[in-house]
Amino acid sequence: MTRAYDVLKIVRDVYGSHGPLPLHAPVFAGNEMAYVQSTIESTFVSSVGAYVDRFEQMLAELTGAAYVIATTNGTTALHMALLLADVAPGELVVTQSLSFVATANAVVHAGALPAFVDVETTTLGMSPDALSEFLQQHCERTDGGVRHRESGRRVAACLPMHSFGLPCRIDEIADVCARWGLALVEDAAEALGSRRDTRHCGTTGKLGTLSFNGNKLCTTGGGGAIMTNDPVIARRAKHLTTTAKVPHRWRFEHDAIGYNFRLPNLNAALGCAQLEQIDAFLTFKRALAERYRQAFEIADIPFVAEPPHTHANYWLCAILLGSEAERDLCLEVTNDAGVMTRPIWDPMHTLPMFAQNPRGPLPVTERMAARLVNIPSGVRIEEPA
């Protein structure tokens, strides 16, 4: 009971607030109203408009990706990225069980089957060691590519996720993928502004994706993006996400099965205004995380801090409690007091639709799922106390 009230007191002290505290609410303190109004006045509110191009260019400059293609949300971005990585129906995509359900859902949307490996305590992202062990123990190289022995399915790709904006060990994961000939697609939905060394999350693999949902660091209301350094993939991504329509002044000619995945100009206008403020958002969140870290260290409650050689956006700050019972008590005490806290997602392998999927040992996943609590992490206009 004491530690639950310790958590409540620390969060309130750090924020300097005794009112309700959301987990992560958007902040609109810049040009959002003006830009959205300009799209309305122009009548270009759908997927054709200047703000879409501007949003993509701003993201390219921020992330260092050569090409960025804006989409309707993070799930559609991930779905399309997997298709562009040549993931075919019936194949396997190795991902982590500890992730938001959209990661695994996108694999299924692409017609494939997710296989689950463990995460690391330090990053909460995919363990390159667990990935390597799964491939060695359960897969084999054949003339037709890497095959999962038990099912005979081809293993097409690897899909790690940068959990809560903490960069995973993506270079080591990329090395494993290169040795086994797997396409690497990064789910960087939560990692806008996060870097390992100097490389932005989502730009190491063949493709990477971002999300701009209402609870993300920068939001477009609902939106996503595909990142790649490959010009051929980029052209294909823009074509397929725009219903595969062949450009023409008036004809409706389509040369492939396309997808209506392009971000509307109205949403992109909001995103441009948000990206103009990203430096201030990141500065606030990193300062907030450091104050949390210091306070929880005094209380002897582990705070999930960025790993060495990384620069995290601290999208959602997290602490680790001693047991599942202690976690549940903390969630009850804080939420009853108007401080929104949440457990981490139910691991994918525990959900009924994925319970029979291939997987390796998942001890860290299960341990983290039982102990982790996310605490209020949103940007606030006033400085935290």
Please give the share of the chain, as a percent, with pLDDT higher than 70.
98
The pLDDT of 291-320, averaged and rounded, is 97
**pLDDT band for position 382 (50/70/90)?**
low
DSSP 46: S
Per-residue pLDDT averaged across 19-25, rounded?
A: 94
pLDDT tens-digit readout, 3-21: 999 999 999 999 988 889 9
Q: What is the structure's pLDDT at 352?
A: 98
Across 197-221, average pLDDT: 96
Query: Which amino acid is residue 332, in one-letter code?
Result: E
Q: pTM to 2 decimals?
A: 0.96
Looking at residue 47, its pLDDT comes to 82
CA separation for the pair 237, 71 (Å, rounded): 10
Q: Which residues pair with 343 in a beta bridge?
A: 373
CA distance linking residue 235 with residue 231, whole number of Å: 6
Angle, in degrees to the nearest 10, between helices 101-109 and 74-84: 50
pLDDT reported for residue 385: 47
Q: What is the pLDDT of residue 156?
A: 98
Domains of the chain: 2-26+279-375 (3.90.1150.10), 32-275 (3.40.640.10)
Helix (H) or strand (E) holding 79: helix 74-84
Q: What angle do CA 363, 369, 370 make, to 5 degrees?
A: 95
The band of 1, judged by pLDDT with boundaries at 50, 70 and 90, is low
Check: CB of residue 338 under 8 Å from CB of residue 326. Answer: no
Looking up tokens 């069980």 gives: 97
CB atoms within 10 A of CB 86: 11
pLDDT average, residue stretch 161-188: 98
Using only C-alpha atoms, the chain has a radius of gyration, in whole angstroms, of 21
What is the distance of C-alpha 34 from the center of its chain? Answer: 29
Mind listing the pLDDT tens digit for each residue in 227-272? 999 999 999 999 999 999 999 999 999 999 999 999 999 999 999 9
In Å, what is the CA distance from 10 to each residue of 21, 313, 333, 375, 381? 13, 21, 13, 10, 19
**pLDDT score for 384:** 47
pLDDT band at 221 (very low <50, low <70, confident <90, very high): very high
